[in-house]
């Protein structure tokens, strides 16, 4: 698929599926998030990590691939700025964003890889879970575009998952075991009991059904080192070390899930660079 086709497909997906509401303020897209009470505090605190790397005040904050600014924590990123510029290729995303933040926002339909702004415009920049919707060459271009539009001495925060996280890879057999056990206990998938037992007992991997979505291309820390390090200064911290599949399979209130997540959060705070590189979601700070 060539670039315009990819972007058109992504736009159509978000306009027609991703940003359609399935409940009060809840989007289809939320099926990629763990919204259970047991994980709420951990997820809330991970979202707030972004604030640490942004300037305390300023005129304009760019939210590149803003979506509808869907979580309350996202509002805090631009609290100390006069305006938040929400940029997205999905019209629906921007309409929803306007419903949320009204006049605090300025709304621009554009491609993150071709920003329609002058150099040195923004005091701060965030981009969450967006770059993976672009082909790799465009992701590199987007990093350069971010640098171009940032003011000198400012920072951008980019959050995206790695292609392959060593921590999640190591946890995989345990995730599979817990998933199959959960299904066995709840009586779901009666027809599947033999596979469940094989999986639980012998580690035979059953087919996993990912939710169908749209174009995704992720990278690993090596790609950043070869493609971005020669052109820009960046640091990797931890946004969240575990993915939603891990949370849903392993973290349960009845099994001390809240306490476990408190401990995990502490570990991520003590070793942010380790969990940033080895965990699922890095928080990449780009310096100008």
Which residues contribute to the site for ligand SAM (CB under 6 A)?
Answer: 7, 10, 14, 65-67, 70, 88-90, 93, 111-113, 128-130, 133-134
Considering only CA atoms, which of 170, 146, 180 is closest in space to residue 243?
170
Looking at the Cβ atoms of 128 and 250, the one nearer to ligand SAM is: 128
Supply the minimum distance, in Å, between the C-beta of residue 33 and ligand SAM: 9
Least Å distance between CB 134 and ligand SAM? 5
Q: By C-beta, is 111 or 277 nearer to ligand SAM?
A: 111
Give me the long-range contacts of 252-259 (CB less than 8 A, separation at least 24): 252/38, 253/37, 253/38, 257/38, 257/39, 258/38, 258/41
CB of 130 to ligand SAM, least distance (A): 4
Instruction: Kindly tell me which of 124 and 257 has the beta carbon lying closer to ligand SAM.
Output: 124
The nearest distance, CB 173 to ligand SAM, in angstroms, is 28
User: 208: number of CA atoms within 13 Å, CB side?
Assistant: 13
Least Å distance between CB 267 and ligand SAM? 24
Cβ distance to ligand SAM smaller for residue 29 or 199 = 29
Rounded to 5°, the CA angle 97-101-105 comes to 80
Report which residue's Cβ sits closest to ligand SAM: 67
Judged by beta carbon, residue 27 or residue 237, the one nearer ligand SAM is 27
Rg, C-alpha atoms of the chain: 20
CB of 144 to ligand SAM, least distance (A): 14
Cα–Cα distance between 103 and 202 in angstroms, integer?
57
- E strand or H helix at 250: helix 244-250
Q: At what angle do helices 193-202 and 166-186 cross, to 10 degrees?
A: 140
- When the beta carbons of 15 and 192 are compared against ligand SAM, the nearer one is 15
Instruction: From residue 164, give the alpha-carbon distance in Å to each of 169, 206, 215, 219, 277.
Output: 7, 20, 17, 8, 10
Instruction: Tally Cβ neighbours within 10 Å of residue 209.
Output: 6
């Amino acid at each position: 698929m060539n670039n315009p086709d990819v972007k058109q497909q992504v736009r159509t997906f978000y306009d027609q599926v991703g940003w359609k509401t399935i409940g009060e303020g809840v989007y289809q897209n939320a099926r990629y998030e763990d919204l259970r009470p047991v994980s709420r505090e951990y997820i809330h605190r991970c979202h707030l990590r972004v604030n640490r790397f942004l300037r305390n005040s300023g005129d304009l904050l760019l939210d590149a691939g803003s979506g509808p600014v869907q979580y309350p924590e996202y509002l805090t990123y631009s609290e100390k700025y006069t305006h938040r510029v929400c940029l997205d290729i999905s019209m629906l995303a921007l309409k929803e964003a306007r419903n949320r933040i009204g006049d605090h926002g300025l709304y621009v339909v554009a491609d993150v890889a071709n920003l329609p702004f002058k150099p040195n415009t923004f005091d701060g920049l965030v981009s969450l879970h967006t770059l993976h919707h672009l082909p790799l060459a465009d992701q590199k271009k987007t990093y350069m575009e971010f640098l171009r539009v940032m003011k000198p001495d400012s920072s951008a925060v980019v959050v995206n998952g790695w292609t392959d996280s060593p921590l999640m890879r190591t946890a995989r057999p345990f995730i599979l075991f817990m998933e199959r056990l959960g299904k066995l206990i709840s009586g779901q998938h009666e027809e599947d009991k033999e596979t469940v037992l094989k999986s639980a007992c012998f580690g035979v991997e059953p087919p996993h059904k990912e939710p169908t979505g749209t174009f995704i291309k992720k990278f690993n820390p090596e790609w950043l080192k070869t493609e971005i390090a020669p052109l820009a200064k960046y640091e990797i911290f931890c946004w969240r070390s575990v993915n939603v599949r891990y949370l849903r399979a392993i973290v349960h209130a009845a099994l001390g899930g809240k306490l476990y997540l408190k401990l995990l959060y502490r570990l991520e705070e003590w070793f942010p660079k380790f969990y940033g590189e080895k965990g699922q979601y890095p928080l990449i700070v780009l310096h100008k």
